[in-house]
Amino acid sequence: MSMLMSKYTTTAAYSIFVSVMIYQSVAKELLPDGVSDGLKRYVRRCFCYLSSLVTTTKLTMIIPETDGLVKNEIYEAADIYLGGKINPTTRRLRLSKPKTEKNCKISMENNEEVYDVFDGIIFTWRKVCKPIQKNIISSSKDAKAPIRHPEIQSFEVTFYEDHKEKLLDSYIPYIQEKAKSIADANKTVRLFTVNDEGLYDSYSNVWKSVKFDHPSTFNTLALDPELKKTIMNDLDGFVNRKNFYKETGRAWKRGYLLYGPPGTGKSSLIAAMANYLNFDIYDLDLTQLSRNPELRTIMMSMADNSILVIEDIDCSIDLADRTPSSNKKHQVTLSAVLNFIDGIWSTCGNGRIIIFTTNHKDKLDPALLRPGRMDMHLNLSYCTPSGFKILAFNYLKVEHHPLFGSIENLISNVEVTPAEVAEKLTKIDTTDVVLEELLDFLEKKKIQQDESKAVKENEGKETKDNQEKKKRVTKRIQASDEDDE
């Protein structure tokens, strides 16, 4: 009987609540402010009385923004889900719109409340921002700079005790599912870089980002078609085999090493991979970091299903050092880098792709190159005839031309990067003129490279002759010494 009464009371309370919501949206326009506010307070008291008949105990669940070193996925889901929830009682909202974004983003302001009804149950949400009084993450790099007091944000959801199981078993999963649907629909690839101040603020503020609007795709890349197909198949296999990695006891990650001369399309390939997978890019400059703990902080702050890029790894830091040195400003060691891409800490994220780039593969420590760290080594070399055809179509919209044969023959015998070819194709002129200038450029480049090759061969021959001459002189001196004896 009591359960039946509780059900009827809850239904009545919910009906009154909905009526209040409808009333406030109408009364705000029709009644004077004083009358409207007074009636609103009266109805709220009635609603609270009816609610008290169901239960007298309320619970408040705290949902912090971070859980230790990692972001709290329930907080992120709630932030997305509640962004579209506006009640008639809501007074303050946060509105933002980056220059590169098309749509505005509405979110809850701190200390604002939003009511949400799920399966006939009312949940009250409140966004809270509190300073952390102790356990500050780190001190500033600059000893003269003031100590920063980091803040942590959280959601507080209040409900009656009887509805705890409903919240945990149904409501939270529902929010996560809806948030994922909203996020997928509004997903835009973003480019993240390290926020220097964030390193000493909070784990949730380590990265700052902008919309990634790079137009590169696998269709526009001037790569060999077979190589592109191999890369795309590898990416597909990676994202679709989460269970395989789990069943085989491996971290769900993939490592790529892109090497080759400057201008061969390493950055364009990274952009194409991000656009293909719809993954965010985290661009990490190791020279920004002074200690290994900072590397741990930023790696743990990365989102899942993302790409970590460390460009020019051979120039970033002295990776030959495996232990810190008190004489060096930058203390990030090779051991720390290896631990985060293939050690214990590498298992603290899912769906991550790690990309190293270098112009000089031979300078890298062999420990970086083994499978499990860098699974695929992709040599992005000089432009090929097939790469030229892709560039010609991208820039000139032509697939055939009488000069193609001569150009392709030269490209097969000249070391020219896709960037150099693309630069010649961007000129504003007729197709004939542009291709003739490209042909002239390639002919001159071949002459220069042939001359340089001849000089090197002559220098090598002279060096060899000098070495032979030196050997003969040495033998004569040794023979003379023996005769004197």
Tens digit of each residue's pLDDT (9 = 90 or more) over 30-78: 556 565 566 656 665 665 555 555 555 889 999 998 877 677 889 999 9
More confident residue, 471 or 37: 471
CB 186 within 8 A of CB 80: no
Classify domain 211-379 by CATH number: 3.40.50.300
Q: What is the DSSP letter of 318?
A: -
Instruction: Please count the helices (runs of H) and the strands (runs of E) in the chain.
Output: 16, 15
Could you say which DSSP state residue 170 is in?
A: I
Distances (CA, A) of 458 to 216, 253, 451, 452: 43, 49, 11, 10
* Residue 222: count of CB within 10 angstroms of its CB: 24
Give every CB contact of residue 201 below 8 A, 6+ residues apart in sequence. Answer: 137, 148, 150, 151, 195
Residue 484 β-bridge partners: none
Where along the chain do its domains lie? 1-54, 59-187, 211-379, 399-467
Q: What local confidence, expressed as pLDDT, does residue 418 receive?
A: 94
What are 376-411's pLDDT values in tens digits? 999 999 999 999 999 999 999 999 999 999 999 999
The whole-angstrom distance between residue 325's C-alpha and the CA centroid of its chain comes to: 31
Cα 41 from Cα 33, distance rounded (Å): 12
Residues 308 and 214: beta-carbon distance below 8 Å: no
For 362, the 3-state DSSP assignment is helix
Q: What Cα–Cα distance (Å) separates residue 464 from each residue in 324, 460, 475, 478?
A: 44, 6, 17, 21
pLDDT at 338: 84
pLDDT value of position 45? 60
Q: At what angle do helices 225-239 and 266-277 cross, to 10 degrees?
A: 40
Q: Give the chain's mean pLDDT.
A: 80
306 sits in which H/E element: strand 306-310
Residue 9 has pLDDT above 70, yes or no: no
Q: Copy the structure tokens of residue 201.
A: 């603020």
Cα separation, 140 vs 407, whole angstroms:
57
pLDDT confidence bin for 322, thresholds 50/70/90: low
pLDDT in tens, 77-87: 999 898 878 77
Question: What confidence score (pLDDT) does residue 196 get?
Answer: 75
Angle separating helix axes 334-342 and 292-300, nearest 10 degrees: 20
Question: Residue 413 carries which side chain, given as an amino acid letter?
Answer: N
Starting at the edge strand found earlier in the chain, the sheet holding 121-131 runs 58-64, 151-160, 121-131, 113-118
Q: For the sheet containing 352-358, what is the strand order?
A: 207-211, 190-194, 280-283, 306-310, 352-358, 253-259, 376-379
Give me 131's structure tokens: 């300073």
Amino acid at 210: V
Q: Are strands 207-211 and 190-194 parallel, antiparallel or unpaired?
A: antiparallel
Say if pTM beats, i.e. exceeds, 0.75: no
- Region 460-468: what's the mean pLDDT? 67
Count of other CB atoms within 10 angstroms of residue 261: 14
| Amino acid in the structure at residue 385 | P
CA dihedral for 258, 261, 264, 270, sign (positive or negative): positive
Residues 6+ apart with CB under 8 A from 93: 86, 106, 107, 108, 109, 112
CA atoms within 13 A on the CB side of 237: 7
